[in-house]
């Protein structure tokens, strides 16, 4: 597979963005509506010609405005997966997936074998004769993934592929995407508003604001110290990284054991992240006894009042990740008489914590 090089400007949209995605890497693009996320994908896919720019995949040039190069969408070897599966309603599931290799010139027998293989990969081998109208939303999205991959794209573009799916289905599709993006070694660009997609799928994250790159870097670095407003907002949950310790727990770098509920995408033996809301965290001066909660002692770094809510932010975690946060009522904060520098206990119930597979570590 090959790396993706992207540089483009679209004056009408006040868009000017440049980045690279290595072969086998997943780059998540975050940003508010209208920031330029979809414009990025449309330029890569050849659906939009920029005013100036270059798009290269390995040694192939797909767009070069200076040279007058604009490869047609169907010749780009780029797979685009949207929130809407966009399956052909009159074709069977098998025929929908066969369409991808057939459209790039593969013979009937080759297309059939490819479709059968990919339907097996997404767990729908027995659904080949069904029509899209007979599928659930999650099944239809898995067919769309099979169709996108059956085309053997060198670049995979994912535009909110899990939006609209229920939690259980989204977790299973997320696990599937994690597996195929890791195994196939292609450059992948993911647009999402879901922090879980970033944590479980991406190697790096890029935040686009007002048509430009606000920040880009490894997921860990961007979430630990976001420099953009949107990056700070998207990182507003508690995230603890560690390794699996038993079926329903992870052990953090400092040895703390966090018990939670494993998601469908949590692997049997791999790095995990524990994700939980600041609103799920209770704050105590002394360690509570007889409670089945996760408890960790922290030092208060800052307090931030917002109406009736007070956010208590602890000092950064031992691995350098952002400090844990707790949202408590103003009354509770007054009773606790908290101040920066105080040592307190943060506790959270196991059922409030979800354990997810952590993103693969970036290698560059």
pLDDT tens per residue across span 111-167: 999 999 999 988 899 999 999 999 998 899 889 989 998 988 999 999 988 887 778
Residue 225 belongs to some domain of the structure: no
Closest CA to 303 of 341, 339, 331, 278: 339
Out of 89-93, 136-140, 225-229, 298-302, pick the least confident. 225-229
360, pLDDT greater than 70: no
Based on the structure, what is the number of domains in the chain? 2
Whether residues 293 and 321 share a domain: the answer is yes
Residue 229 belongs to some domain of the structure: no
Q: What is the pLDDT of residues 51-85, one digit of tens each?
A: 999 999 998 999 999 999 999 998 999 999 888 89
Whether residues 300 and 202 share a domain: the answer is no
Q: What is the pLDDT of residues 161-198, one digit of tens each?
A: 888 777 877 888 888 888 888 777 789 999 998 888 99
Residue 120 belongs to some domain of the structure: yes
Looking at 220, 247, 279, the residue that finishes a domain is 220
CB 141 within 8 A of CB 166: no
Mean pLDDT of 285-310: 88
Q: What is the pLDDT of residues 18-29, one digit of tens each?
A: 999 999 999 999
Mean predicted lDDT score pLDDT of the chain: 89
Whether residues 252 and 182 share a domain: the answer is no
Whether residues 120 and 18 share a domain: the answer is yes
CATH of the domain at 254: 2.40.50.100
For 29: left if phi > 0, alpha if psi spans -120 to 50, otherwise beta; the answer is beta
CATH of the domain at 141: 3.40.50.300
Element (H, E) at 338: none
Whether residues 192 and 270 share a domain: the answer is no
Contacts of 127 (CB under 8 A, 6+ apart): 93, 119, 135, 139, 143
List phi, psi (to 5°) of 261: -105, 120
Looking at 158, 193, 220, the residue that finishes a domain is 220
Residue 230 belongs to some domain of the structure: no
Residue 53 belongs to some domain of the structure: yes
50, pLDDT greater than 70: yes
Residue 331 belongs to some domain of the structure: yes
Would you say the pTM of this structure is higher than 0.75?
no
Bridge-based pairing state of the strands 249-252 and 238-244: antiparallel
Whether residues 215 and 266 share a domain: the answer is no
Whether residues 188 and 245 share a domain: the answer is no
- 53-75 in b/e burial notation, b at 16+ Cβ within 10 A? bbbbbeeeebbebeeeeebeeee
Residues of the domain holding 307:
236-357
Out of 2-16, 84-98, 233-247, 264-278, pick the least confident. 264-278
Out of 173-182, 240-249, 330-339, 345-354, pick the least confident. 173-182
CA 261: distance to chain centroid?
A: 19
């Amino acid at each position: 597979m090959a790396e993706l090089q992207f540089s483009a400007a679209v004056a009408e949209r006040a868009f000017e963005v440049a980045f690279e995605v290595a072969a086998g890497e997943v780059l998540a693009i975050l940003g508010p509506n209208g920031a330029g996320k979809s414009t990025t994908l449309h330029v890569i896919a050849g659906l939009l010609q920029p005013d100036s720019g270059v798009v290269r995949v390995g040694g192939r040039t797909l767009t070069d405005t200076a040279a007058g190069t604009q490869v047609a969408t169907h010749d780009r070897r780029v797979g685009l997966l949207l929130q809407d599966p966009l399956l052909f309603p009159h074709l069977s599931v098998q025929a929908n997936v066969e369409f991808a290799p057939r459209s790039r010139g593969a013979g009937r027998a080759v297309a059939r074998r490819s479709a059968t293989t990919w339907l097996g990969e997404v767990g729908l081998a027995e659904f080949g004769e069904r029509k899209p109208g007979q599928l659930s939303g999650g099944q239809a999205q898995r067919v769309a993934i099979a169709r996108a991959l059956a085309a053997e794209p060198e670049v995979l573009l994912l535009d909110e592929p899990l939006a609209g799916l229920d939690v259980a289905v989204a977790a299973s599709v997320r696990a599937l995407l994690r597996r195929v993006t890791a195994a196939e070694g292609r450059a992948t660009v993911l647009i999402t508003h879901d922090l879980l997609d970033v944590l479980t799928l991406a190697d790096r994250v890029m935040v686009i604001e007002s048509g430009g790159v606000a920040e880009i870097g490894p997921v860990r670095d961007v979430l630990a110290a976001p420099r953009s407003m949107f990056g700070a907002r998207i990182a507003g949950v508690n995230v603890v990284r560690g390794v699996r310790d038993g079926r329903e727990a992870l052990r953090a770098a400092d040895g703390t054991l966090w018990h939670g509920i494993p998601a469908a995408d949590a692997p049997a033996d791999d790095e995990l992240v524990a994700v939980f809301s600041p609103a799920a965290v209770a704050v105590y001066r002394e360690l509570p006894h007889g409670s089945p909660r996760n408890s960790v002692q922290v030092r208060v770094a800052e307090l931030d009042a917002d109406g009736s809510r007070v956010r208590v932010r602890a000092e950064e975690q031992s691995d350098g990740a952002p400090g844990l946060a707790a949202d408590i009522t103003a009354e509770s904060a007054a009773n606790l008489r908290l101040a920066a520098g105080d040592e307190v206990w943060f506790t959270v119930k196991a059922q409030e914590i979800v354990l997810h597979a952590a993103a693969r570590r970036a290698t560059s």
